[in-house]
Amino acid sequence: MVNNDIKQLDQIFSALSDATRREMLSRLAEREMPVWELAEPFNMSKPAITKHLKVLESAGLMKRSVQGRTHICRLTSSPLSEVADWLAFYEKFWSKKLDGLDEFLTSRKGE
Amino acid sequence: MVNNDIKQLDQIFSALSDATRREMLSRLAEREMPVWELAEPFNMSKPAITKHLKVLESAGLMKRSVQGRTHICRLTSSPLSEVADWLAFYEKFWSKKLDGLDEFLTSRKGE
DNA sequence: ATCATTGTTAACCATAGAGTTAACAATAAT
DNA sequence: ATTATTGTTAACTCTATGGTTAACAATGAT
């Protein structure tokens, strides 16, 4: 459903709009790790970490597997492909330094 | 400055996390247009539109040129290239359906 | 059995976000 | 000169977000 896609994009972009969460993804890109290890670089309380993880999880960017008392987190990158799809449409603009029709026309003045 | 880049990414992702703003960008990708025309599809008060435009503008995704009483909006897509750069790092993961090291190992079990 | 580790939940606070209405400013048209 | 159009600002509401501390649950180690 298209409407779901929109909501999903909302969630994904929103999840990515926080530097802490982006760094979490970056760490998980290297390897999976338990919450306590993932949290190490962040000067932040445990509940704050829990919240960030929930955001990533409900955006589909992370999954966890519970092993005893530790939760192993791993990157699930597939939602990023939707961002890439969205972005692909705009690539022609910046790659050609072309921002809207006016600049296109401007760039053709000398032809 | 790297710290500025982070803040800029925050702003860009945050600006993109709203469907209204994404649709605004989509409209501006076709051609530049005045605020009143850009606002047409949205069932929303004028001040709400103004706010969305400010968000896009301060994320660097839109610029305006004032012509009399109308403000002509145009897409400035260059910040999206930073999103693309950020995303490029993760492309290998989803393109190979590879989410973290464990799945990499799993995928090699049969070799 | 007790204690330490790992992590979540609940309750709270402060700030930001998305929307509203009412009022205004500037320009254009009559 | 008045009126209509285009858009912003101010002030307000409501909800979401990012953080905290305190308490708890579950597991593991001694």
A100 close to B28: Cβ distance less than 8 angstroms = yes
Whether the CB of B5 is below 8 Å from some CB of chain A: the reply is: no
B44 in helix, strand or coil? coil
Whether the CB of A101 is below 8 Å from some CB of chain B: the reply is: yes
Residues paired with B72 in a beta bridge: B34, B65
Task: Kindly determine whether residue B87 and residue A84, on different chains, have CB atoms separated by under 8 Å.
Answer: yes
Q: How confident is the model at residue A111 (pLDDT cuts 50, 70, 90)?
A: very low
What mean pLDDT value characterizes chain A?
88
CA distance B81 to B67: 29
Residues in CB range of B30: below 8 A, 6 or more apart: A101
CATH value at residue B20: 1.10.10.10
Which of B4 and B64 is assigned the larger pLDDT? B64
Task: Kindly determine whether residue B28 and residue A100, on different chains, have CB atoms separated by under 8 Å.
Answer: yes
Mutant choice from A6, A31, A81 vs B, greatest count of B C-beta within 10 A: A81
pLDDT at B94: 83
Name the pairing type of β-strands A62-67 and B33-34: unpaired
Give pLDDT tens digits for A52-73: 999 999 999 999 999 999 999 9
Whether the CB of A18 is below 8 Å from some CB of chain B: the reply is: yes
Give pLDDT tens digits for B35-76: 999 999 999 999 999 999 999 999 999 999 999 999 999 999
- Residue A63 belongs to a domain: yes
- For the segment A8-15, the average pLDDT, to the nearest whole number, is 97
- Residue A94 belongs to a domain: no
Name the residue range of residue A65's domain.
2-79
Q: How confident is the model at residue A109 (pLDDT cuts 50, 70, 90)?
A: very low
A74 close to A67: Cβ distance less than 8 angstroms = no
- Residue A7 belongs to a domain: yes
What mean pLDDT value characterizes chain B?
88
**Using CB atoms, which residue from A9, A14, A99 is nearest to B77?**
A99
DSSP B76: -
Q: Which of A98-102, B39-43, B107-111 bottoms out in mean pLDDT, i.e. has the lowest?
A: B107-111
Q: How many domains does chain B have?
A: 1
Share of chain A above pLDDT 90, in %: 76
- Residue A43 belongs to a domain: yes
CA angle at B18 for the pair B83 and B72, rounded to the nearest 5°: 85
